[in-house]
Structure 1
């Protein structure tokens, strides 16, 4: 496991504003590792053990599906967190995904 990669992923995900979502691929590209979407997913699975809050619930797949929901305390936690931020989810997919998608990362790709 690449701790430096995971650290960059957590820094990126912390930039995603409340009420917006991003994708595993967008995070991977932001940290200079396009194509490493699956590794971003692994990082999100471990994000709960990190110091400081990592809003892992804001990271979904490229279609807006809540594919990471299994990593949360219960099956509805991810959806509940998104809903509390004004993001509508139906059948595990973000409604209006294109409108709430965010990828304006301010990172050095290294």
Structure 2
């Protein structure tokens, strides 16, 4: 595993229940602010092996990013988040001002 991937795995592993991070936020914390797609690849290829809480990573708008042909996975992600107390609004979005998690950085950096 390269250093960026190791950091991504560590960051995602550390997201507590009931909190979320965006793909871009994970990438930035791991040292590559433009690496959101790399985070997606790490989640896709390593979630099972490293028992990552994949469901706690969402898009920057507070939504679930699931292709329409894989809607069942998106429904599962929402179910898992709701079981942890995360609430979705009427538009299917999560209020990031409430549920976003900031790992070991100043919150001001994400404003």
Structure 2 length-normalised TM:
0.77
Change (3 A) 1:102 1:75: closer
* Corresponding residue of 1:103: 102
Name the structure where helix makes up a greater proportion of residues: 2
Paired residues of 1:12 and 1:105 also in contact (CA < 8 A): no
Structure 2's unaligned 5+ residue stretches are 106-111
Name the count of aligned residue pairs.
102
Q: Distance in 1 between matches of 2:66 and 2:5?
A: 16
Q: Distance in 2 between matches of 1:72 and 1:9?
A: 25
Structure 1's unaligned 5+ residue stretches are none
Q: Which structure is higher in RCO with an 8 Å CA cutoff and minimum separation 6?
A: 1
RMSD between aligned alpha carbons? 2.4
